[in-house]
Amino acid sequence: PPSVSRRARRRRQRDTSSCAAAAPVAEADPQLVASALPTHPKLARGTLPNGLHYVVLPNPVPPRRFEAHLEVHAGSIDEDTDEQGLAHLVEHVTFLGSKKREGLLGTGSRSNAYTDFHHTVFHIHSPLEGPLGQPMLTLALEALEEIAFKPRFLPQRIEKERRAVLAELQMMNTIEYRVDCQLLEQLHSENPLGNRFPIGKQEQIVAWDHDKVRRYHAKHYFPANTTLYVVGDVDAGECERMIHEAYGATPERPHKTLAAGASEDMQVEVPEKDRRSAAPP
C-alpha cells in the first residue's frame, strides 16, 4: 500500500541521516595541505621576457602528432557592461582573419577557437610534418602568434563576423539555453557570472563601432595575459627553442592595432589597472 511505501521511505531517510551524523570527520593533514602538488617529470614550463607563459608536455601517443593551444586569460567575465559579447566577436575576427591560419589548410591539421566566461582559446591539432614535409609545429606556433598579437581588423572582416555571431545567437536561443541562463542568474546573483554569457546581447553586438572592437583586443591581448600549451610527440627542449623564436620578438604590450586604410597604426593606451598578468595553472 502507498502508506507502507511512505513509511519505508521515511525510515530509510532517518537511517541515512543517522549514519551521516555518526560518520567521523577526518581532519586534514596540515603538512599535506601545505605541500606542493607533484608535477609531471617531463613537464617543461617557462616565461619569456615579454611575459608570455608556456607549458610543454612530451607525449608520444599518438605518434608524430601534437596540439598547440594559446589561451588568452580574458573572457566574457572581463567585459564591461556595454561590451557583452565583445570577447566572442574579437575571437571570431582574430581567428578567421589570420592568413597564417589559412595557410594551414590542406596540411592535415585542424584548428578552432572558443570563448568562455574566463578565457578565450585558439588551438591547432596537427601532424608534425605536412604533406610536403612542412615543419608543422613551427607553422602552428607562428599562426597562433599572428592570431593573438597581429590581427588586421579589416572592416569587411569585422562585419562578416558580426553577422556570424548574430546567427550563432539566434541558433542558441532555445528553451534549454534560456533555462540555463536563468539558473546561472540565480546561482551567481552576487557576481557578474550571472549576466555575462559569452554569446552576448544582440542590441550591443549590432551597435559597436570598429574602434571598440580594436580597443578590446588591445586591452586584453598581450603576452603576459596569455599561456601557450604544447602537448605531443615533441622534444621539450627543441619545442622551447621554437617558442622563443616564434614569440620572443612580440612586444610586451602591443599598443598598435592594424587599421585598414589608415596611414598610421591606431594607438590604444590601456589604463595601468588593466595591465594584469595571469600565471599558468
Measure the CA angle with vertex 134, ends 128 and 137; round to 5°: 40
Is 176 exposed, middle or buried (CB count within 10 Å of its CB: 0-12, 13-18, 19+)?
Answer: exposed
Say which residues have a Cβ less than 8 Å from residue 190's Cβ, sequence separation at least 6.
Answer: none
Q: What is the DSSP string of 107-165?
A: TT-EEEEEE-SS-EEEEEEEESB-TT--BHHHHHHHHHHHHHH--B--HHHHHHHHHHH
Our answer to whether residue 272 is catalytic in this structure is no
Q: Which three cell numbers stand for residue 115?
A: 570563448
Our answer to whether residue 79 is catalytic in this structure is no
* Per-residue pLDDT at 274 exceeds 70: no
SS3 content of the chain, % helix, strand, coil (to 5): 45, 15, 40
User: One of 71, 83, 161, 240 is an active-site residue; which one?
Assistant: 161
- pLDDT tens, position by position, 119-159: 999 999 999 999 999 999 999 999 999 999 999 999 999 99
* Per-residue pLDDT at 258 exceeds 60: no
Lowest mean pLDDT, pick from 52-66, 101-115, 125-139, 185-199 = 185-199
Give the pLDDT of residue 33: 86
Q: Which three cell numbers stand for residue 184?
A: 546561472
* Per-residue pLDDT at 8 exceeds 80: no
Q: Both ends of the chain: CA-CA distance in Å?
A: 57
Residues 247-265: what's their mean pLDDT? 63
- Quick one: angle between helices 210-220 and 155-172, nearest 10? 90
- Quick one: angle between helices 236-247 and 136-149, nearest 10? 40
User: One of 83, 91, 142, 145 is an active-site residue; which one?
Assistant: 91
Share of the chain above pLDDT 90, in %: 69
Chain position carrying cell 597604426: 265
